[in-house]
Amino acid sequence: MEDQKEIEKLRSELNEHNYRYYVLAAPIISDAEYDHLLNRLRDLEKKHPELFSPDSPTQRVGAPIQAGFSEVVHLTPMLSLANAFSEEEVRAFDAKVKKLLGHEVGYTIEPKVDGLAVSLRYSHRRFFQGATRGDGERGEDITLNLKSLRDIPWDLPEYAPQEVEVRGEVYLNKADFERLNEERLDKGEAPFANPRNAAAGSLRQLDPRVTAGRPLHFWPYAGSGLRGITTQYQVLTDLEGLGFLRPNGLPDFLQNRLIRNIDDALALFKIFNDRRHEVPFEIDGMVIKVNSLKDQEALGFVGREPRWAIAYKFPAIQKTTILKDIQVQVGRTGSLNPVAILEPVEIGGVVVSRASLHNEDEIERKDIRIGDAVLVQRAGDVIPQIVMPIKERRTGEEKLFQMPERCPVCSSHTVRLPGYAMRYCTGGLSCEAQLIERLKHFAGRRAMDIEHLGSQLAKSLVEKKLVQSIADLYFLNKDSLLTLERFGEKSADNLLESIEKSKERPFSKVLFALGIPEVGEVTAKYLAEHFMSIDLLGRASLEDLEAVPGVGPSISESILQFFGEAHNQNVLERLAQAGLNLQQRAKKQRPLDGLIFVLTGRLERFTRPEAQSRLEALGAVVSSTLTKKANFLVAGAESGSKLEKAQSWGVPVLEEEELLRMLDESTSSEETSPHVTVDLKGRS
């Protein structure tokens, strides 16, 4: 049937465009064209209700923001694990297992990933339902959000069974967690306490596009419905075969492991504990599971915990020290950030002497006083945190902390606005601390990436009044730079060169670099994609702004305020004058984009890798196997069976000379072809 073919074609095209739009941020068609395709698909689907598919782009794009999550009843309850904190407890677990079964057992050893459990269901090899654990019996349907995770395949390979359920842990890498928190602090939002909470917060977003902007990962540890499987070890390896891949570059001790007796587990635990800092995400122990599934079944459960597994948890890395003082630092947006100054203490191999206290409410809630003995821990194994004061050790000499009424740097008044967790300095640009932080932010790696502008230099530039607004950076000259202390010719050249290079940064990075309060990296990207230029963004109304994913009233208000200030307009004009990218460029389309080439036989004029890299540079895909989907077979001398196949399937065959001509023509057409332009209307 013709319509069915067209529906399939439209679905696959629209999926590709969604991916380019939301994930790559590089659309290749205008929004009007996109709407046209989507409407055509809607019409056809209306005409053929029998061809309905929950995965159709019409089902997803039409309702990106959900009103709430619906409930999912788990096929089998999602249970928890009993914990062990000592060797004795682990040995007792082993003894009980052997006693109940009446024979020796092998175990698998897996990391206990500290994230949150989810269930993924596949029907006819397609991912159709993803859910949180919830109360174990019922969870929330978060299918759309889980679809944005790269680690979760949408389709299983052909040889997979029809119905499969995979369970595992969704987590965030420690580095990504820190970045996310920096962004939240920039926005005046309370930071997440640990990567686990951050992952949970990211997964339970009603707008799946917010989830898509957070680099969540999936770690599989259980599967059901798999064929011919008798052990947990096979489950783990089978899942990898189905496409649930582990990240590259993990330390070797995280590999799937099968051990013969509990002594091996205890030895491995030592390695896990000593080397846990090598793992890019948080693990809070290791899980020991009876390997044989038959044995597991025989052992069964007590309450909500299986008798066949145990979580051997790491001892917490917490230490007690003295809180000597609380200092206040002024951030880029003027936020006053309280920092704990601690009597230095070693925690898990690192000396800790400072810890963030986040904001005044947190200090009050935890009842932390200057002079207190405090319990300190490294959350995410990285950021030191104060867990609580040890009140029993109080002498009565401890002092309550109060946020200053005046900025510690510029003495302007400080204010705390309703709805904000932070207190702010009102000094604006007259506050040197703010300007220094703004400059550091502007030059940062995720913003303008001005390599030679570090924190010390930012401070000198501001203090020596060479830079009084970020735009001044682009009008610095060598003579004035040489007036800085200990700043020679070479340093000046390097700095000027990296400033020059920053002019190539794309619009979304410039927008982020401007440091508009509440506009983090992800929001900046969405705004850049939506408005395409600083002029259109500057002219947007509150309603226009709120139409952008992830942008609510508060961000919109902040943007309006930013553009309403005359001095900001002045900065923008000077940045434009300096030649920064203040509009979005659509990704350049390459002449051979998406075309599949297969090379066969001996080439005379270049080597195969050369041919391949020239083709790929023009957007082509070079495949080693010939299928009917291939667009061209390049046949060199002595081509064998592939040539015959191509001829019988009607795949066009190119000789080497023809390939060369095609490459040359494509290369020159690419040099002259104009950039693709993209319609400015928002996609909703």
Note whether 211 and 145 are within 8 A (CB): yes
Amino acid at 413: H
Pattern 275-294, ligand IVH, x by CB under 6 A: ------------x-------
Stretch that binds ligand IVH, among 56-64, 76-84, 90-98, 192-200 (CB under 6 A): 76-84
| 296-309: b (≥16 Cβ within 10 Å) or e | beebeeeeeebbbb
List of residues 6+ apart from 632 with CB closer than 8 A: 595, 596, 597, 598, 651, 652, 653, 654
Among 61, 49, 48, smallest CA distance to 17 is for 61
Pattern 233-252, ligand IVH, x by CB under 6 A: --------------------
- Tell the smallest beta-carbon distance from residue 149 to ligand IVH (Å): 16
Pattern 82-121, ligand IVH, x by CB under 6 A: ----------------------------x-xx---x----
Cα 280 from chain centre: 13
* Cα separation, 645 vs 639, whole angstroms: 11
Residue nearer to ligand IVH on the CB measure, 113 or 580: 113
Work out the angle at residue 21's Cα, subtended by the Cα atoms of residues 16 and 26, and round it to the nearest 5 degrees.
100
From 38, 262, 309, 471, residue interacting with ligand IVH (rule: CB under 6 A): 309
SS3 content of the chain, % helix, strand, coil (to 5): 40, 20, 40
- Tell the smallest beta-carbon distance from residue 168 to ligand IVH (Å): 8
What's the alpha-carbon Rg for the chain, to the nearest Å?
29
Placement of tokens 């977003």 in the chain: 205
Pattern 35-74, ligand IVH, x by CB under 6 A: ----------------------------------------
Query: Under the criterion CB under 6 A, does residue 81 sit at the interface with ligand IVH?
Result: yes
Stretch that binds ligand IVH, among 59-67, 304-312, 405-413, 575-583 (CB under 6 A): 304-312
DSSP for residue 124: T
* Cα separation, 260 vs 312, whole angstroms: 17
Q: Which residues pair with 623 in a beta bridge?
A: 598
Catalytic residues: 112
Residue nearer to ligand IVH on the CB measure, 11 or 112: 112
Query: Under the criterion CB under 6 A, does residue 306 sit at the interface with ligand IVH?
Result: yes
**Count, residues near ligand IVH per rule CB under 6 A:** 14
480: tokens are 């004035």
Cα 525 from chain centre: 14
Note whether 177 and 195 are within 8 A (CB): yes
Residue nearer to ligand IVH on the CB measure, 22 or 221: 221
The number of C-alpha atoms within 13 Å of 418 and in the hemisphere containing its C-beta is 0
From 79, 298, 347, 382, residue interacting with ligand IVH (rule: CB under 6 A): 79
- Tell the smallest beta-carbon distance from residue 313 to ligand IVH (Å): 9
* Cα separation, 314 vs 284, whole angstroms: 6
Residue nearer to ligand IVH on the CB measure, 114 or 372: 114
Among 113, 82, 81, 87, smallest CA distance to 315 is for 87
Q: Hey, how many other C-beta atoms are within 10 angstroms of the C-beta on 184?
A: 18
**What residue is closest to ligand IVH based on CB?**
117
Work out the angle at residue 315's Cα, subtended by the Cα atoms of residues 314 and 318, and round it to the nearest 5 degrees.
130
* Cα separation, 374 vs 366, whole angstroms: 11
Note whether 248 and 162 are within 8 A (CB): no
- Tell the smallest beta-carbon distance from residue 81 to ligand IVH (Å): 4
Residue nearer to ligand IVH on the CB measure, 116 or 206: 116
Note whether 631 and 591 are within 8 A (CB): no
In 102-246, alpha helices (H): 143-146, 174-186, 195-203, 208-212, 232-241
In 329-426, alpha helices (H): 360-366
Query: Under the criterion CB under 6 A, does residue 125 sit at the interface with ligand IVH?
Result: no
- Map residue 220 onto helix, strand or coil: strand
From 41, 166, 185, 311, residue interacting with ligand IVH (rule: CB under 6 A): 311
From 21, 127, 177, 221, residue interacting with ligand IVH (rule: CB under 6 A): 221
In the chain, DSSP finds a helix count (H) and a strand count (E) of: 25, 24
- Ramachandran area for residue 431 (φ above 0: left; ψ -120 to 50: alpha; else beta): beta
* Cα separation, 194 vs 210, whole angstroms: 19
Placement of tokens 């696959």 in the chain: 12
- Map residue 372 onto helix, strand or coil: coil
* Cα separation, 534 vs 577, whole angstroms: 13
Stretch that binds ligand IVH, among 42-50, 303-311, 358-366, 391-399 (CB under 6 A): 303-311
Question: What φ, ψ does residue 359 adopt, rounded to 5°?
Answer: -160, 175
**What is the contact surface with ligand IVH in residues (CB under 6 A)?**
79-81, 110, 112-113, 117, 169, 221-222, 287, 306, 309, 311
